[in-house]
Structure 1
Amino acid sequence: MKKVVIIATGGTIAMKKNNSGKSSPAIFGEKLIESVPCIREIADFEIVNFSNFASCNMSPENLIRLAKKVEDILKNKDINGIVITHGTDTVEESAFFLELTIDDERPIIFTAAQRDASEIDSDGPRNIKNAARIATDERAKNRGVMVSLNEEIFGALYVQKTHTSNIKTFSSGEMGMIGYVDIDKICFYNFQKSKIKFKIPENFPVVIPIMAFTGMDSNLIEFCVRSGARGIVIEAFGRGNVPPELEDGILFAREKKIPVVITSRCYNGRVLPVYSYKGGSSRLKDFGCIFSEGLSTAKSRLLLGLALTQTDDSSEIQDIFTNILC
């Protein structure tokens, strides 16, 4: 029988209602497995209790620890795959980080739940079972890190949480699903893998994401630069435009050789240098800003941080963003 390691990190999937009726951490990996009927028929399971907290606690330091744990587990060639139970709030970031730092053909599947284990219709057990099925499927190899909930399978590069509570919350927008968990088999449609891999860093550089808003001035960017930020990600409007008053702050950061990545508040589409007014995307590109190529702000922050462990040259970092998709 195939062997699968389940790494439990916490999240709603591992929570129950407390005496006040609010969800809080309550369940470790062993109880998660017990909640899934017939799961022992799928594989032999080893449980690793990595943590038991809400995923808003998954700091860069914890991501580094998680990546090292996965890397260590995969040294055992008898392991067929890894399932990581996680909170939905930041699962897309954790999956993305592992996609960029783990180089192994065996499947790694993140799963989670929108309804805690107290709910009579909790989605956790089914999601765990489906993730285990993916982990033991030969066709799941060489597909990179995946996120699977609600029968859907997404690549780590573009998946995002889109609804606060609905179980159909994850989407990769225009990039689409990479597969579907059906009753009789796992159906795979396409590949979405990173062709760029980084060594797991010992420390994560300080990268600050900033959301642009109308009437915004440059004070916040200047504060971040003076406080030691090594990189800045600006979530701009539309095609990558910002208020004109913000342009001076971007220039200030660039003069200090701080890489600045431009993303968009729009869920779909790319930022592109097509507007030339003050604060327009074309001018930002002329200043040497890096364009995110459709990655979200949260993922751009992680990619910029990892890129900074190799280089602080903005043109080289732009190449990383441009060429990430395999």
Structure 2
Amino acid sequence: MLVLATGGTIAQTTGKDSVLTGSALVAAVPGLDASADVSAEQVAQVSSPDVTSEIWLRLARRVNESLSSGAADGVVVTHGTDTMGETAYFLDLVVKSDKPVVVVGSMRGSGAVSADGPANLANAVAIAADPAAKGAGVLVTLNDQIFAARHVTETNATALDAFKSPDFGALGVMQGRKPHSYRTATRRHTTATEFDISDVKELPRVSIVYPYVDVGPGALNAAVVDEVKGVVYAGTGNGSIPKSVQPAVTAAIGKGVIVVRSSRVNGGLVERDGEHDDDALGTVTSDSLNPQKGQVLLMLALRKTQDAATVQRMFSAY
């Protein structure tokens, strides 16, 4: 079992910086080798707000290398919680193996009273060693729960049970360091996706634009001026775009920018031709992906196409 460490709260001691290495995290968990023969590597050492797409690419390539070579039967990624959902979903789309990949973090640093990192890491290794995790896609675990990477999101800034899957629920639970699985994710992932990042040096730039009362077109116009290739509009309700912004959407699409309608609401599906006539407007809808995961998929989609219909097919498949 290979643990790939990237920093985050799980690697913090008494300060705010991520200072513990992956090897130190592994060594701090008693009996971790009861589930598997564990080794660790450091891929990055950053707080999760500082995770970049370059780190995603580096991490994904290392996951693919270790699994395809037979050097590891499974991979555990330690990660900060702020962007854990995005990183997990990126891996879910680009890992080319059916071997288990589990992303894990903690809500409390190692220097805190009742730090949750050691128990979460022990659970992650146990999940990755479980035969039921093979072919299940990338998984996320915190607080004795097991989630699909596509569905999980952080719902609280500080609570131990911050991670949930609002619409679809957890896939399983941990009890006494043993995983109990009850269902699987059905959307295409890992070996069933069309995304290959083996030779990718950088991903297309995609912005997220957030509406509010009295919003104008400025943020969307600025994104276009900044030469982004795509925009996820985190609309109100069912992905609503205010009339004040709709001309800017039309102008952006006219310049070749793909615009995806998502929702700032933490749950539900954004319907195609629901709140707006997407066929007439030229927009793509995000299905049940939240804005930040919509950004992940759009970045990968734009490497293959600038055709809105093809991008829509991808959002309906993944």
Q: Identify whether the pair has TM-score above 0.5, normalized to the shorter chain.
A: yes
Q: Structure 1 CA distance, aligned partners of 2:288 and 2:132? A: 27
Q: What is the CA distance between 1:226 and its match in structure 2? A: 2.5
Whether 1:90 aligns to 2:83 is yes
Partners of 2:186 and 2:84 in 1: CA distance = 17
Change in Cα spacing, 1:140 to 1:61, as seen in structure 2 (3 Å) is same
- How far residue 14 of structure 1 moved from its aligned partner, in angstroms, is 0.4
> What is the aligned counterpart of 1:109 among 88, 102, 115?
102
Instruction: Give distance in 2, aligned partners of 1:80 and 1:228.
Output: 41
1:199 aligned to 2:196?
Answer: yes
Out of 284, 294, 297, the residue aligned to residue 290 of structure 1 is 284
TM-score (norm. length: structure 2): 0.94
Please name the residue that 1:67 is paired with. Answer: 60
Q: Does 1:38 align with 2:35?
A: no
Of 6, 11, 14, 1:9 maps to 6
Q: Which runs of 5+ in 2 are unaligned?
A: none
**CA contact under 8 A between 1:157 and 1:193: conserved in structure 2?**
no
Q: Where do 5+ consecutive residues of structure 1 fail to align?
A: 276-280
Q: Please give the residue correspondences for 1:140-179 in structure 2 after superposition, counting only pairs within 5 Å.
A: 140-179=133-172
C-alpha spacing 1:184/1:302, structure 2 compared with 1 (3 Å)? closer
2:262 equivalent in structure 1: 263
Q: How far apart, in 1, do the equivalents of 2:71 and 2:65 lie?
A: 13
Paired amino acid for 1:69 = R
Check conservation: 1:288, 1:314, Cα contact below 8 A: yes
Whether the 8 Å CA contact 2:43–2:58 is kept in 1: the answer is no
1:17 offset after TM fit, Å?
Answer: 1.2
Deviates more, 1:266-275 or 1:38-47: 266-275
Runs of 4 or more, structure 1, over 4 Å off, are none
Q: Which amino acid aligns with 2:290?
A: S
Q: 1:147-197 CA distances to partner (integer Å, 9 max, x unpaired)? A: 001110000001100000001011111111111111273211111154234
2:297 corresponds to = 303
Bigger drift between 294-303 and 40-49 goes to 40-49
Distance 2:259 2:51 in 1: 24
Q: Number of residue pairs matched?
A: 312
Residues 123, 178 of structure 2: 8 Å contact kept? no
Q: 2:73 aligns with which of 75, 80, 86?
A: 80
* 8 Å Cα contact 2:126-2:177 kept in structure 1: no
Structure with greater strand percent = 1
Return the match for 1:136 from 129, 134, 138. 129
8 Å contact kept, 2:93–2:195: yes
2:41 is paired with a residue of what secondary structure? strand
Once the two structures are TM-superposed, the CA of residue 216 in structure 1 deviates from its matched residue by 1.4
- Contact preservation (8 Å) 1:12, 1:88: yes
Distance in 1 (CA, whole Å) between partners of 2:217 and 2:33 is 57
2 CA distance for matches of 1:214 and 1:268?
Answer: 21
Q: Is the 8 A contact 2:68 2:97 kept in 1?
A: no
Provide the secondary structure at the position in 2 that maps to 1:318: helix
Shift of 1:300: 0.4
2:218 is the counterpart of 1:219:
yes
Quote how far apart the aligned CAs of 1:16 are.
Answer: 1.1
**1:186 and 2:183 aligned:** no
